[in-house]
Amino acid sequence: MLGMLGYVLAVRWTVWRRPESAPVAERAERSERILSLKRIWSICALFVLVIGGIYGGFFTAAEASGIGAFGAFLLAWSMGRLNWRTLHDILVDSALTSAMLIAMLIGASVFTEFLNYTGAHDGLLRFVNDSGLPPVGVVLLICAIYIVLGALMEELSMILLTVPLFFPIVTGLGYDPVWFGVLVVVLCELGMIAPPVGVNLFVVRSIAREVPLTAIIRGIAPFATANIIRIFILAIFPAISLFLPRLLF
């Protein structure tokens, strides 16, 4: 809800500054809107299957990813969107991505063991406790580090390298691990649009080739600002992140 509110305000700000960026569109008839929903019923059904299965306790989140991928495969096959050549390319890309992820996980595991043997966790926790910073100050400092790293590193690499270092500090200060997980995910969302290495910037550039990258970066500035405000709200008020998990679990 915080993200939605922030993005709505970002859109309103952009339209207020440049009304020509969002001209008034022609209103669609009710029949057209209903027809458009019929075209995406399969996607809605897949979403209900995956999310409903997780919260219904039928399978775990990791199992749901496999079920979702298999469901998407069946939908694409039934709609005639797949052929043997496309399937071959998909399997090759999946194998390459999986190999890359496994290699990164191995490297992160080695790095974590190295930290355990050196006692870096305990040393950092003692340093934090002796620094005189309040717990919220430490959290805000960690957030600032993540924002800087997100602009320079790929998000998965950043998570694998930093979480083993910061997680013991955060839990040692008495914070909930679920809250820290939510905070890291939101920080990574910001990193995906933060220049110069934000992945989504280049995704948009590949789709809208006529738009300069500098224009794309200017366009995401209000949304990045909304994300930064949301991050600091979540950092200062952990109960916002923990309300729904505690309600459901």
Residue spans per domain, the chain = 119-249
pLDDT of residue 151: 76
CB atoms within 10 A of CB 121: 18
3-state per-residue secondary structure call for the chain = CHHHHHHHHHHHHHHHHCHHHCCCCCCCCHHHHHHHHHCCHHHHHHHHHHHHHHHCCCCCHHHHHHHHHHHHHHHHHHCCCCCHHHHHHHHHHHHHHHHHHHHHHHHHHHHHHHHHHHCHHHHHHHHHHHHCCCHHHHHHHHHHHHHHHHCCCCHHHHHHHHHHHHHHHHHHCCCCHHHHHHHHHHHHHHHCCCCCCCHHHHHHHHHCCCCCHHHHHHHHHHHHHHHHHHHHHHHHCCHHHHHHHHHHC
pLDDT of residue 180: 92
pLDDT of residue 43: 86
* Residue 200 · residue 193 · CB < 8 Å: yes
Could you report the per-residue pLDDT of 121-179, keeping only the tens digit for each?
677 667 776 777 888 888 888 888 888 887 777 777 788 878 888 888 888 888 999 99
pLDDT of residue 121: 66
Distance CA(192)–CA(154), nearest Å, equals 8
Please identify every stretch of the chain with a pLDDT value under 70, giving residue numbers as ranges: 120-121, 124-125, 129
